[in-house]
Amino acid sequence: MASRVYALGSLAQVPDPGSRGFDIDTGDERPLRLFVVHKNGAVSAFYNRCPHTGAPLEWQPHQFLDIENSFIQCAIHGALFRPEDGYCLRGPCAGQALQQIMVRVDDAGQLVAELPVHPGASVPDQ
């Protein structure tokens, strides 16, 4: 599957533990909303879309984790997701998962996301 690489910014922008949202300009009408979680040195990224309602997940700008910074938490129904893979442990979408995005940290400490190029290639409507 063809993909495109997007520079998100410095990993230093995302506290450990913590999270940060990003809007990616893909050339479509609306930006693609995603977020990065940084916990225990590991980095993961997901589309900012609850599998239950399709709504954005954050409580306030860049706040995707629960108060203990243990789990990703949906602001609407309080569903809890594992930060390493987005699997829903509790809530109305238990057993489902957030849609994960390939992300890496390059040699300069920059976050780089890899997204499918063509519409419908695992990119949710936002």
Range of the domain at 10: 3-112
Parallel, antiparallel or unpaired: strands 3-10 and 100-105 = unpaired
Mean pLDDT calculated for residue range 69-80 = 96
Is the pLDDT score of 92 beyond 90? yes
Query: Could you give the number of structural domains in the chain?
Result: 1
In a 3-state reduction of DSSP, which class is residue 20?
A: strand
**For residue 124, is it within any domain?**
no
How much is the pLDDT for 28? 82
**For residue 126, is it within any domain?**
no
Mean pLDDT calculated for residue range 75-85 = 96
The percentage of residues in the chain with a pLDDT greater than 90, rounded to a whole number, is 83
Is the pLDDT score of 113 beyond 50? yes
Mean pLDDT calculated for residue range 75-91 = 97
Interval 33-67: pLDDT, tens = 999 999 999 999 999 999 999 999 999 999 999 99
Dist CA 64 CA 28 (whole Å): 25
Is the pLDDT score of 82 beyond 60? yes
Q: Which of 26-35, 57-66, 106-115 is the least confident region? A: 26-35
**For residue 103, is it within any domain?**
yes
Is the pLDDT score of 80 beyond 80? yes
Inter-CA distances, 63 with 14, 38, 108, 123, Å: 11, 12, 25, 22
**For residue 53, is it within any domain?**
yes
Q: What is the DSSP letter of 31?
A: P
Mean pLDDT calculated for residue range 11-16 = 97
**For residue 47, is it within any domain?**
yes
CATH number, residue 99 = 2.102.10.10
How much is the pLDDT for 121? 47
